[in-house]
Amino acid sequence: MELERLLRSQGFGSRPECRHLIYSGRVSVFGEPCDDPFAKFEPEGFSFSVDGVLWGYRKFVYLALNKPANYECSQKPKHHPSVYTLLPPPLLMRGVQAVGRLDEDTTGLLLLTDDGQFIHTYTSPKKLVPKVYEVMTKHSIDDTQLSGLVSGVQLNDEPAPIAATACERLSERLMRLTVTEGKYHLVKRMIAAASNRVEALHRVSIGGFELPSSLLPGQWMWMEAADLERLGSRKQVN
């Protein structure tokens, strides 16, 4: 594929913009400057840099972000900055989107991708992927609340009770809760239905993929094939 097309596919702008980028000497390929927009390369394993920042060709991108509090998972946020401001422009240009949403005050693992099929699969109510949250509550957690959450709590506007697949008390006001559904404010509503209240909510894992402790709030990482497999998805990433 021609270099300008390759850059375009990776989110570096329109073909004329990519051509301009290449002509202005800002692009290197496999470590060597390249000012020919029509030079041809195999996409697979292709590596390039723009202004010294190294990129690898990816057919789709899959990212894990440690969402900080006071960020909104919306392209048009109302009260706080958008999580999309935490990503570099080429990823936004590619159309990366959050896979489901976390509330503005919820922290932790948020997946993002430009693979529409992946978003569809992972946000489908049919795909029962376990999502684990650490929940800090306002009041002490008692055994009745824990057993109620596991046997199922009735939420307003839901036809049937919703049950956590696991629920464990970690300390007096901290629990670890696993749910498989992705409904609006689900954990907060479940905790309220169990007669308590969420004070802080942090998502620690999705499927078998855990938020790495080295990923600080606001930081993101590429998810590679092994990470996606842990999540429960077999995907070729480049």
27 or 65: CB nearest ligand URA = 65
The binder of ligand URA chosen from 22, 27, 102, 194 (CB under 6 A): 102
Query: Of 158, 134, 140, nearest to 197 (Cα)?
Result: 140
Q: Of 80-88, 169-177, 182-190, 215-223, which part binds ligand URA (CB under 6 A)?
A: 182-190
* Count of other CB atoms within 10 angstroms of residue 181: 15
17 or 103: CB nearest ligand URA = 103
Find the length of the chain: 238
103 carries an active-site annotation: yes
The binder of ligand URA chosen from 23, 185, 218, 219 (CB under 6 A): 185
Segment 103 to 142, residues that bind ligand URA, using CB under 6 A: 103, 106
Q: Of 23-31, 57-65, 181-189, 224-232, which part binds ligand URA (CB under 6 A)?
A: 181-189
Q: How far apart are CA 39 and CA 127, in angstroms?
A: 43
The binder of ligand URA chosen from 7, 186, 193, 211 (CB under 6 A): 186
Alpha-carbon Rg for the chain in angstroms: 21
Query: Of 80, 75, 139, 145, nearest to 107 (Cα)?
Result: 80
- Give the binding-site size for ligand URA (rule: CB under 6 A): 8
Residue 16: both structure tokens together: 């004329």
Four-CA torsion 31, 32, 35, 38, nearest 10 degrees: -70
- Cα 223 to Cα 9, 92, 133, distances in angstroms: 19, 16, 20
The active-site residue, picked from 36, 103, 142, 143, is 103
The binder of ligand URA chosen from 162, 187, 194, 231 (CB under 6 A): 187
Q: Does 197 bind ligand URA (CB under 6 A)?
A: no
Active site (catalytic) residues: 103
Interacting residue ranges for ligand URA, rule: CB under 6 A = 102-103, 106, 185-188, 201
